[in-house]
Structure 1
């Protein structure tokens, strides 16, 4: 049996960053991934993911995001390539809606620069938008996106540079914690370590059955469409944005990396189930969901379909993360699920998880993500 200081299971957003941070600390570390590195079965493909400081979900995320920005820039320097692109960001909806009010709360709590634009002002500045009267937008200049697929590869490359071992196409079948050690069983063998970080995303409950009801996979579909006026959706003309509307909550990107205007709907069609049984093949119904938003709010992007891509959320009941040690098994650190908004935090979560695995604590406050909150709220985890 091979022995390691720490084993990381799942080398996606959180796992790749954690692997790098542990290896950089001098740990003997193994990363296990059931698919290829950079696969399209999970949550992190689709070219890029939004990053934003004005976090409407909860202002307590803002200190984590500030550190995430610092670490993304540090990683860029080490890798010699850009990963974080600042475009500015818009949070749009009715004035007293959750997105607008939550964004304003985060900006005011942490003294972030922002500007509130009426529907007319927003459309004048960003003519790709068409908004009904009564809508407003909060513009925050620090938002942008992270090149998600490249970021994973960069973290893995840096981890290997620091001595990490990585085994792709090796599925974990069991985690066996006992007396301060953990045995990880795969289809190829058995490995032992002092700690294991489980960042398996939509397959988390396969490895930790007690989280079956707490970590629920959900199918998500992203679309790229050929704009009728492509200049309106180009970098520098269109920011990343989130739009809360009667049709649902949508998120958008300027054209970058691949052709087309990228758009997705949060909780796309609310299709939940086991990760292996959720379809990865987009359908006409998936396209219809996205086209409704294009026709209503971005009519100049309502051109031919260029690409549709399915990915997975893994949601908790309150849609906050899980970052904690498994009750009764302190050797097992649980990382994720991220409820559809986790990638932007990958850089800082790697640092946090590496610290939890090696010292048992983090300098940053992660109490919001404790497993105990589900017991306190009476949520059934099993």
Structure 2
């Protein structure tokens, strides 16, 4: 509403796959717990409503939610940047952070490639670089190579946003997620943990190759046969995973003037607005009214 741009595309959402799988059970439990509009569909009903979902067998159950959809990520980031600038934020671009340290006065000093800055509080949201800036995140916020495919459907009308809900499904080959055709003339999807390859964010292997393409095409051919046309594009990116795949949001106990948000494990962007609110709370008040107990750092030290 503040920007006048359409940033959320509602398509409905489908989550499930194997009837006893964690995605179906988790989606159903969340929908019931929070009283969200939803229906449980079997494979026949899923295909009847959405013919693109042609390859799912009788063991499939999904939770369909009419309010599901996807965010226009780049436009949303620009909207946040514009909103921050309009409210007086001093934004610095192309200025990589090299290090930070606490000051004797109880604040922080940040050293960048262009100089240094001092402040009372510091918020670190560095994605795959988080573990370099916060050493205690080693092993807790690990970068992993991901690959996405865009395939040109042979029946493109079945993959338009009003006929193709976004999905997250557990199948024999793993957990996959995907989106309708939008902007790029291809149906977009990927597999969580892809080939389970750790990656250095400063030297990422961005080139997707035949092995990546074969894995993703095999999935589309089996489950979305009308979407398995020519490959439009393959693109590599990075997820930063925590051990339990829950977010890490906390103040650092040894330097409580520093807060960190990391380890979003491939499903954090949709929560960026509320995470930003939480981080602002932690920086300004040292606490938040949001329940972030699940995301505290000390859960890893007590898990053993």
Q: TM-score, normalized by length of structure 1?
A: 0.78
SS in 2 for 1:156: helix
Distance 1:210 1:336 in 2: 12
Distance 1:202 1:374 in 2: 19
Distance 1:335 1:101 in 2: 27
Distance 1:365 1:308 in 2: 38
**In structure 2, which of residues 171, 186, 190 is the aligned counterpart of residue 264 of structure 1?**
190
Q: Structure 1: which 5+ residue stretches go unaligned?
A: 1-76
1:132 alignment partner in structure 2 = 57
Distance 2:263 2:141 in 1: 6
Distance 2:199 2:158 in 1: 38
1:145 alignment partner in structure 2 = 70
Query: Map of 1:1-382 to 2, 5 A cutoff?
Result: 77-129=1-53, 130-178=55-103, 179-378=105-304
Distance 1:137 1:78 in 2: 35
* Deviation of the 1:92 alpha carbon: 2.6
Distance 2:31 2:89 in 1: 39
SS in 2 for 1:80: coil
* Deviation of the 1:257 alpha carbon: 2.0
Q: TM-score, normalized by length of structure 2?
A: 0.97
* Deviation of the 1:164 alpha carbon: 0.9
Q: Structure 2: which 5+ residue stretches go unaligned?
A: none
Distance 1:89 1:147 in 2: 16
Alpha-carbon RMSD across the aligned residues, in angstroms, is: 1.0
- Contact 2:42/2:62, CA 8 A, preserved across alignment: yes
Give the total of aligned pairs. 302
Distance 1:111 1:222 in 2: 33
* Deviation of the 1:187 alpha carbon: 1.3
Distance 2:78 2:140 in 1: 29
* Deviation of the 1:239 alpha carbon: 0.5
SS in 2 for 1:262: strand
* Deviation of the 1:246 alpha carbon: 0.5
* Deviation of the 1:278 alpha carbon: 3.0
Runs of 4+ in 1 over 2 A off after TM superposition: none
SS in 2 for 1:85: strand
* Deviation of the 1:205 alpha carbon: 1.0
In the TM superposition, what whole-angstrom CA distance separates every residue of 1:79-132 from its partner, at most 9, and x where no partner exists?
A: 110111111100131211111111111111111121111111111110001211
Distance 1:280 1:362 in 2: 38
